[in-house]
């Protein structure tokens, strides 16, 4: 049996390096099930029950810790929304160094008006620019 396995394994290795793992898995499963083995782990059911109980005691504290950490992080973000941002985003710009775009200045000037017509126009322009920059 072992000689046949070695012959098949060496002949499969010569076929292609990519398919080596697939052939070895199929050969291994063939010889495993030809002997009548149906338990791939080889563990007794009593040990398997103990293993599952032990595994659940490890997974539950990890999930609880992740939920608590997520809740803590959410509270920090809701209380201090600018704490994790880049401080350069909040600094004032220097007009000599900043480039001015005509369309952006038009949008900024339109934002100053509180009319609903201008607000709809602003939304339309922003949507057009948004989809334009996505599909570039």
Residue 47 has a pLDDT of 58
In a domain, 74, yes or no: yes
Give me the number of domains the chain comprises.
Answer: 1
In a domain, 14, yes or no: no
Mean pLDDT in each 10-residue stretch from start to end of the chain (136 residues)?
Answer: 56 52 68 62 60 67 82 83 66 59 61 58 65 55
Residue 121 has a pLDDT of 63
Residue 89 has a pLDDT of 59
Residue 81 has a pLDDT of 74
Structural domain for 130, as ranges: 55-135
User: pTM of the prediction?
Assistant: 0.31
Length of the chain: 136
Give which of 107, 136, 109 is closest to 123, Cα–Cα.
107
Q: Report the C-alpha gap between 133 and 130 in whole angstroms.
A: 5
- How far from 1 is each of 34, 54, 117, 127, 129, CA to CA, in Å? 11, 38, 84, 70, 70
Residue 97 has a pLDDT of 59
In a domain, 82, yes or no: yes
In a domain, 65, yes or no: yes
Q: What is the pLDDT of residues 49-72, one digit of tens each?
A: 666 666 667 777 778 888 888 888
In a domain, 91, yes or no: yes
């Amino acid at each position: 049996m072992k000689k046949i396995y070695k012959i098949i394994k060496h002949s499969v290795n010569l076929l292609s390096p990519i398919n080596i793992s697939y052939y070895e898995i199929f050969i291994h499963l063939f010889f495993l099930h030809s002997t009548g083995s149906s338990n791939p782990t080889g563990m007794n059911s009593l040990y398997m029950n103990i293993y599952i109980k032990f595994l659940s005691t490890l997974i539950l504290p990890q999930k609880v810790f992740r939920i608590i950490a997520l809740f803590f992080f959410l509270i920090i973000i809701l209380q201090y929304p600018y704490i994790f941002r880049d401080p350069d985003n909040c600094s004032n710009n220097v007009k000599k160094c900043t480039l001015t775009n005509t369309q952006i200045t038009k949008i900024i000037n339109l934002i100053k008006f509180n009319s609903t017509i201008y607000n709809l126009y602003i939304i339309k322009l922003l949507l057009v620019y948004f989809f334009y920059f996505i599909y570039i």
